[in-house]
Amino acid sequence: MGKTDKKQALKLRKTHPILSIVCTVFVSLLAIVFMVFLGLVAYRYLIQSKTNTQTDKLKTMVRIYDQTDDKEGIIPTLAVISDSFYIKDKDGNIIYSAGDNTCDESQPSESSLFPEEGITFYDDKAMDLLDDDPAFGFTIDTGDLDSKTIGEIVNDREAVLKAPFWMSCKTVSGDTIYSKGNLEFSLHDTAIILAIALLAAIGVIVVIIVVIVRVVANIRDRRKMHKLLFLDSVSDDNNWMRYLITTEEIIHKRRNADNLYAVVNLVFVNYRNFVLCHSMEEGEIMLRKVYETVRANVGKKDVVAHSTSQNFPLFIKYRDKEELRMQLQGIISKLEKVDPDHRFSFHAGVAFIPAGRAEKRSLDIDSVYNHACAATMTLEDTDESGIVFFDDELLKKQLWIDKVHEKQAKAVENEEFIVYYQPKYNPRTNELCGAEALVRWQSPDFGFVFPGRFIPVFEKNGFITEIDHYMLDHVARDIRRWLDQGLDPVPVSVNISRAHFIENDLPEQIRDIVDRNNCPHGSIEIELTESAFFDDKNALISAISCLQEYGFAVSMDDFGSGYSSLNSLKDLPLNVLKLDAGFFRGSDDEEREHIVVAEAIKLAKNLNMKIVAEGVEEKETVDFLAGEGCDMIQGYYYAKPMPGSDYEMRIGKKATDLVELAPVEANEPETAKEETTVITDTETVPEEDTKDDQAGI
Ligand code: C2E
Ligand code: CA
Ligand code: CA
């Protein structure tokens, strides 16, 4: 997982849903306020348009009053304009009046929402009683009400709803005219107002519903997102992301500074097989059982997660490493029997988090877990359960793997890989009859490195295909050169790793590389390690047949070091069988060893195959193999792997009298040690000098 992913997940985890809820509610409230405001504006517009005619009447009355000197005489004229009015002098005494005086002067302007300049509004006394009797004060002028249906009344533009009010305006003379007015709404208007009010109410309700739905959806979305980000679908509990975040929170807490924690990579070894034999669903059920068993057997504050298929990262607080080992052993014992019908095995790789606040602060759980994985990887070749603690040795190994990875591409570019040739001899004639090309790395950074150190790394990281092509290319080039020099080179076998067999066009690739160098196909033999024979047999058979059609001999390397060699021999049309060096490393029962080797040679002969014995160091072994009819021997007895220049001398000498040749001192440790550091692989470091002289070469 990338660091940015983790940061974003952390951010998401910390942002509380309440914030987004508050935002949504706030925005919705704004929308409601806006709607109410719009309603009020519409209301004001309506009221103003209704009061305008009334205030105009009052203003006309004031104008007439001011223009007339005979104030009393004008009263009947004013009465034509307004039914009810009265006039007060400067001192507040009523000097003229007409109609009913029902003006409530106690609350000027308050009964009207939108006062107009120069005019003061008052409630009508009749309206004051509205609270007690809502119908009181309103008059409905509908004509012949009794003969109309409600629908007709509503649609009747003549029918009006009258709301009385009073208004006053000062005259120039200082007197004040009070006049009654009526806000007149036709029932049609009223229906429109009600409809607008209803629509506004519906709008508000809709907004409220939308807000609620949004808030609920928001909470649900967040839950889903949390589930996707932090929950594993199999265990329905912690996934890798949550594991990382939780464990980092734990180690960064001040109070946990002195605690000791272990990061464990627990691997369900048989999971893939189980899924193959059963089904994905059953596999998941089993993973869940494993998860629950682990969860039940660690502390409450320990963290358990399920990351990818068979991997369970654990984070365990411990006091003592041996105690921890026992705890893990106990868990694994339970897990082995997690299903009564099966016996499973589990690997646990353990890496440790040091005590101390500063140490913990600079720690990255990701890399500690990588160490735990590196520890489990050391158990990769066994199907038995096991626990491995990551230590300095493993750290060195891990660093080496990283360094090799970092340098490999440049090394090919700079031609740092060198072809060494190990000759093969006919044990009866002591004649050179072949060679195997073996890679060496002359690195400016690491010195002289043996393949045992880097080939396994390349096999894991996939770079092996690159190296094998490189070797084939260089061998074909060397053979071409030797031919051009008039030498008579013997066939050279080149190792081709099993990793190539995923490529369908492997035979064509090999042919093209050899052809590019104009090298005869008969001079190249392809060595396949026995492990390649476990893969897709049909693909292998067709690749072998194809290579043979192109004229390349194909050999099975390391025969006898694995399990199903005999079985493979049955189906595969091979040309050469290479007996593994293990046969000649000395056995407690030499007689039995001889029987097995003799039978293997017979078997190869019967199958029309040539036989090469590898790793032969003793004269007695050579004599025995010669007696049994072994075709070739490749071993220190005759020669160690040597640089191309030294091997070239051997081909040259092959043409002349073999017996008279002096032994060639061309062996790697000596050659290499003189120049640089030698990084060896203990199994393959030649310790003795060659027996060239003993062989009389
Ligand atoms: P291998 O293919 O089985 O090669 C034979 C190994 O046995 C060589 O080790 C050789 O030096 C060693 N050997 C031969 N005779 C004797 C003997 O009498 N005594 C002892 N103690 N050892 C002997 P080397 O060169 O270190 O190679 C180790 C392995 O690395 C090879 O085993 C092969 O699997 C791999 N390898 C080497 N070069 C290549 C390559 O170009 N491609 C691939 N894919 N693998 C390679
Ligand atoms: Ca080989
Ligand atoms: Ca071999």
Q: Which of 641, 642, 637 is nearest to 615 (CA)?
A: 637
- Mean pLDDT for the chain overall: 84
pTM: 0.62
Q: Residue 178 has what pLDDT?
A: 94
* The two structure tokens encoding residue 426: 């006919």
Looking at residue 535, its pLDDT comes to: 64
- pLDDT band (50, 70, 90) for residue 539: confident
Share of the chain above pLDDT 90, in %: 49
Q: Within 6 Å (CB) of ligand 1, which residues are found? A: 422, 438-439, 450-452, 455, 464, 467-468, 471, 495, 497, 557-558, 581, 614-617, 634-636, 641, 684, 686
**245 has pLDDT over 80:** yes
pLDDT at res. 410: 97
* Average confidence (pLDDT) over 195-211: 82
Residues bordering ligand 3, an ion, CB closer than 5 Å: 557-558, 614
Q: What's the per-residue H, E or C state across 467-533?
A: HHHHHHHHHHHHHHHHHHCCCCCCCEEEEECHHHHHCCCHHHHHHHHHHHCCCCHHHEEEEECHHHH
Name the band, by pLDDT with cuts 50, 70 and 90, for residue 693.
Answer: very low
Look at 359-363, 624-628, 653-657 and tell me which has the smallest mean pLDDT: 653-657
Element holding 318 (H helix, E strand): strand 311-318
Decide if pLDDT at 514 tops 70.
Answer: yes
Asked whether the beta carbons of 682 and 629 are under 8 A apart, the reply is no
CA distance 695 to 633: 12
Average pLDDT over residues 664-668: 46
Higher pLDDT, 439 or 9: 439
| pLDDT given at position 209 | 86
Position in ligand 1 atom list of the atom nearest CA 617: 18
CA 86 to ligand 3 center in whole angstroms: 128
Cα(659) to centroid(ligand 3), Å: 28
Residue ranges and CATH numbers for the domains of the chain are 23-200 (3.30.450), 240-390 (3.30.70.270), 423-660 (3.20.20.450)
Res. 668: pLDDT tops 70 = no
- Where b means 16+ CB within 10 Å and e means fewer, 448-471 reads bbbbebbbebbbeeebbbebbbbb
Of 197-206, 270-279, 679-688, minimum mean pLDDT range: 679-688
- Closest Cα to atom 13, ligand 1: which residue? 615
**pLDDT tens digits for range 308-332:** 889 999 999 999 999 999 999 999 9
The per-residue pLDDT for range 372-397, each reduced to its tens digit, is: 999 998 898 888 999 999 998 888 98
**Per mean pLDDT, which of 191-205, 236-250, 498-512 is the most reliable?**
236-250
Which range among 98-102, 288-292, 537-541 has the greatest average pLDDT? Answer: 288-292
Residue 572 clears pLDDT 60, i.e. is over it: yes
pLDDT above 80 (res 17): no
Give me the pLDDT at residue 400, please: 94
Which DSSP string do the residues of 49-102 spell out, in sequence order? Answer: HHHHHHHHHHHHHHHHHHH-S-HHHHHHHHHHH-SSEEEE-TTS-EEEEES---
HSE-up of residue 642 (Cα within 13 Å, Cβ side): 25
Other C-beta atoms lying within 10 Å of the C-beta of residue 686: 18
